[in-house]
Structure formats: structure tokens, C-alpha cells
Chains A and B, each alone.
Chain A
């Protein structure tokens, strides 16, 4: 396609504007995290710390139980990812391959569940979990995360199952392989990359989740990372900027790394879900 020279310049300028808009808050966060207190107090903040320091990181760990919180987040997110994928994969398989009532109902639920405000679900859940003595407990939170993450996990997995040609399974069936055998030896191996991507995406969602954790976890030693991070913002909104930036930066790193790895696959899963259903 032909593109005029003027158009190209305009395109690059627009791209530059986007790059600045997308990048500058994040660069500012990193810059703030490495600034010594003296530089933060100055009325004319610098872009790049003149005298970079790790003191903010040390102070962040001193002020809040960050390691404990990260461990809690890790346990809840890992549990949610593993359980969600284990129970969602068979269901996604049925949704992709059959048009039976449960499959249709599940598809409808996946769409509808995007619409309700969580407050309508969390109040009854709070009452139920309280009766089960699962308030302020990581297993309780993990259970909530599993169900909360299921719609998108199903959405992604259905796309991956559909990408496996049904003809392969039928060929195996004609060859005399039973249903389970077909699933385990033909379909499952082809689904592994998609299942891993779905698990990682569920992990990040749970690692980042805030609302349920805020409501369900009461004591600091049980709280997850996002909840503990908010403690850096004082009651009056005043905050110790350096440690706040340092802790926020650290909390993002795992998600960024995982996201970089699975980015293409999520796009693919979203695509499959959005275009084909």
C-alpha cells in the first residue's frame, strides 16, 4: 500500500505521543523508587535520580510485612490458578465440542457474570464464608478467586479447544480408542500450551486482585500484597513516597515478567473467544 511521506511523519508523531502517554507514569514510578529522601523533598523533582539509592526498598520492607504479603499472594494465586484450570479444562472441552444444555447454560453464565457488580456477590459470600469460618483465611480467598477467575479461564480454554481439529478425535475414535483415551492421548497434549497460558493469566489476575482480598482478609499477617500496599498510603492520604514507589514497583515485577511471556497467547485466546462465539 502506498503511503505519503507526510502521512508517515504524522504516524510517527502519533506513535511518539502514545509512547510518552503509556510510558511516563511507569518511568516516574521507577525513578521515584530509586530517589533518596532529600531529592524527593526538593520542590523541583528530577526525572533521573542524581544519587540513586536502595534505601526506599529497605525502608519499605521495614515498614510493612511485604515478604509475608507476597507469600500470601503467591499461595492464593497459585492455588486459584491450579484449581481453576483443573476444573475449567473439562468443562471448556464440553462447551467447545457439544451444544448440550449445560454447555449452553455455561456460555450464558460466562457472558452474564461479566455484568454484576461484585458487591452483590461479596455480601452473601461474606456471610457464607463467615459461617464456614473461612473469613480471614487464604483457603477462603482462594475459593473465591477460583470462581471469580472461571469465566475468563473458560473463555480462553474454549478457544484453545476449538483450535484442535475435531477430526483428530474422530479419527482416533474410529480407530477404536475410547473417549477418555482420545482425550488423554490426543487432545490433552495439544491443549497443554493453552492450559499453561490460562493458568498463568489466572495467576496474574489473582495476584493483582484487590476488592475480595480487602473485604475478606482482616489481619495484616493474612493480607495479600495489594492490600498491604495500600497501607503505604496514610489515613489522611499522606504517604512516604519513596517506600511507596519501591513497594509498588516490586509488586508489579512478577506480573510483568509472566505477562511478557504469555502476552501473545492471551491475545490469541481473547481473539478466539471474541470472534468465534
Chain B
């Protein structure tokens, strides 16, 4: 029996990838169960339980039984201006991080795709933020932003651009300052994904377009971007969700301050649940976060996919 005949057989049997047409294999269940059970018990179950909690008055440390209270939590949330402030900040933060992150990462990916010297160094450095614990990234940038001993103010002083300021404590500067950190921290994943997408674009198409006299910008629009689009779409959508749900970075940088100016929804929900013990109320917040994110993403994805059809 040779590999060649086996290949021929498999081609006949399975036109799709690796055997779509095989009969249902009950043995597969034994392979799936070891992972499926923990997933159901510790992930899907808690998720459903969490949604149910949103309709109760569950509190930590209370002795009386938890009561079913219907949509009362959601009604309260509607009038909770602090929550909607944090929601607005969360959206600002998610867009403020995701968009520059994408633009910068695309630029870096295009550069790293060129035959440049020192690109190995940039490749290596571009990975560093990915490997660092978010807590460390936050602490590191606190050192950078430190009003007296920080490198940012020192550089500004050296350049004669004023005395510098306390970036993380200023009402107007805190959110932009944490957004810069968010962009820095998320650059690697985006760059790596886009670079991978770039390496999938056919080189011959590029060369053909160049022969036809297409400039760099034209080549990007007609050859690179269409090939990159699926990856770009996926990574932008994921980045938006991850950023909207992020916690550790801002917890370490400002803990939501000053005056709630950087209080992301996750920070708010965390405090509500684990400082004030309002489990039901915090769960309702989580539900609203999921619902709004789903709607935004659906609109975004449908819009982009339509764009693909028209293109």
C-alpha cells in the first residue's frame, strides 16, 4: 500500500477538507468530552447563570435568599448616569484604541514586509508588548508618565515644551494618556495578523501591477488591500471587543480616575460586584455590555461585507 493510492482514494471520497463525507463517528465523542465537560460546567453554565443573575437581587454576603426581581436591575441601569458615563468612556476608549492601532499596525506591517535592514529588530520589539503582563505594561507607563521622574516630561522639558504635567491625573489628559498605552499594548497582535495577511498576497500580482505602471498607492488599493481585507476585518472586530472589555491596563494606570474619567465599563462592573457586592446589578451591566457590543459588531460586519460585494 502506497501513499499515492491512499491519496487518490481520499480525493475520491472527500472532496472537501479532510473528510466531510465520512459517516458520523461516534468515537469522536470520547475525544471531545474531556474538553467539552469543563467548557459546559465552567464557561457556558456560568454564562447562562450570569444572565439569570441579572434578573435577581443577588448580593454577596447576604444571608436572606436571592429573589427574582424581573427587569428591575435593567430599569435601574437605565437611570444610572454613572454607568452610561462609563459606557460612553468605554466606547471612546475602544474606538480611540482600535483605530490608531490598526493604522499604526498596518504601517508597521507594510514596512516589515519590505526588504529593510534592522527589520528583525523591529519584529523582535513589536513582540515585546505582547509578552508582557498587562499589569507590568501599566506600571511601566506609569513610570513614563510620572510627573517628576518620568521620561515623557523630561523629554518635553529638554525640548523646551513647558514644564510637563501629571498626565494620568489631569481631567483632560487621563483618557488620551491611557489610550496611548492601549494602542502600544495591542500593536503586536494587530501587526502580526496583518503581516500574515500581507504575506498571503500573491507577489506576481504586485509585480504585474508594477509593470503596468501602477504606483505604490495604486498597487496598495488594487492588490494589497483586497487580499488583506478579510484579516483586517477580523482583527479590527476582535480588537474592538477586547478593548471594550479590557480591565487590567486601566486598573493599574488610573483605577478609573481622575473623577471617573477613565472608568471603563469593566472597572465599573468590577467595583459594583466585588467592592459593593451587587452581584445581580453587575451581571445586568455585563448583559447590557454584551448586547450593545453584539449590535455594534453586527452593524459593522454587515456594512463591511456589503462593501465587499460592491467592490
Secondary structure at the A interface, as helix, strand, loop or mixed, is helix
Which residue in A91, A116, A211 is a CB contact (below 8 Å) of B35?
Answer: A91
Q: Does A189 contact B (CB under 8 A)?
A: no
Bound-state CA distance A96–B32 (Å) is 12
Q: Is the CB of A233 within 8 A of B139?
A: yes
A274 touches B49 (CB 8 A): no
Known: A29-B139, A100-B25, A116-B290. 12 other contacts (CB 8 A): A1-B210, A18-B104, A19-B122, A45-B148, A91-B31, A99-B16, A120-B47, A166-B14, A167-B3, A210-B133, A252-B133, A275-B196
Known: A252-B133, A275-B196. Contact between A98 and B19, CB under 8 A?
yes
A122 and B60 alpha carbons, distance in the complex (Å): 13
List 18 contacting pairs A-B, 8 Å CB cutoff, sorted by A. Answer: A22-B129, A90-B30, A91-B32, A98-B19, A103-B32, A117-B245, A117-B286, A122-B273, A124-B45, A124-B50, A146-B38, A154-B35, A174-B1, A207-B133, A208-B133, A229-B135, A248-B136, A259-B127
Q: Does B187 contact A (CB under 8 A)?
A: yes
A22 to B49, CA, bound (A): 42
Q: Using C-beta atoms within 8 Å of the partner chain, give the interface range for chain A.
A: 35 or more
Whether, in the assembled complex, A58 has its beta carbon less than 8 Å from a beta carbon of chain B, the answer is no
Interface size on B, residues (CB 8 A): 122
**Do B140 and A28 touch across chains, with their CB atoms under 8 A apart?**
yes
Docked-complex contact B42 and A125, CB < 8 angstroms? yes
Q: Closest CB-CB distance, A49 to chain B, in whole Å? A: 12
Contacts A44-B154, A117-B266; A229 near B139 (Cβ below 8 A): yes
The closest CB in chain A to the CB of B168 belongs to A237
Closest B residue to A101 using CB positions: B24
Residues of chain A with a CB closer than 8 A to B91's CB: none
A-facing residues in B121-153 (Cβ within 8 Å) = 121-122, 124-136, 139-144, 146, 148-151
Residue on A nearest B270 in the bound complex, by CB = A119
Give A contacts to B, CB under 8 Å.
1-3, 7, 11-12, 14-15, 18-19, 21-26, 28-29, 32, 40-41, 43-45, 47, 86-88, 90-91, 93-94, 96-100, 102-103, 106, 109, 113-128, 143-144, 146-148, 150, 154, 162, 166-168, 170-171, 174-175, 179, 204, 207-211, 214-215, 225-226, 229-230, 232-233, 237, 239, 241, 244-245, 248, 251-252, 255-256, 258-260, 263, 266-267, 270-271, 274-275
| In contact, A26 and B283 (Cβ under 8 angstroms) | no
B contact residues vs A (CB 8 Å cutoff): 1-3, 5-7, 9-10, 14, 16-20, 22, 24-25, 27-32, 34-36, 38-39, 42-47, 49-51, 53, 58, 60, 104, 107-108, 111, 114, 116, 118-119, 121-122, 124-136, 139-144, 146, 148-151, 154, 157, 168-169, 184, 187, 192-193, 195-197, 200, 206-207, 210, 216, 230-231, 234-235, 238, 241-242, 244-245, 247-248, 251-252, 255, 257, 265-266, 269-270, 273-274, 279, 282-283, 285-287, 289-290, 293-294, 297
Contacts of B3 in A (CB 8 A): 167-168, 171
Q: Name the distance in Å between B197's Cβ and chain A's nearest Cβ.
A: 8
By the criterion CB–CB under 8 Å, are A94 and B31 in contact?
yes
Which single member of B149, B207, B234 contacts A1 (CB below 8 Å)?
A: B207
Q: How far is the CA of A271 from the CA of B99 in the complex (A)?
A: 22
Docked Cα-Cα span, A41 to B148, in Å, equals 8
Q: How far is the CA of A177 from the CA of B22 in the complex (A)?
A: 18
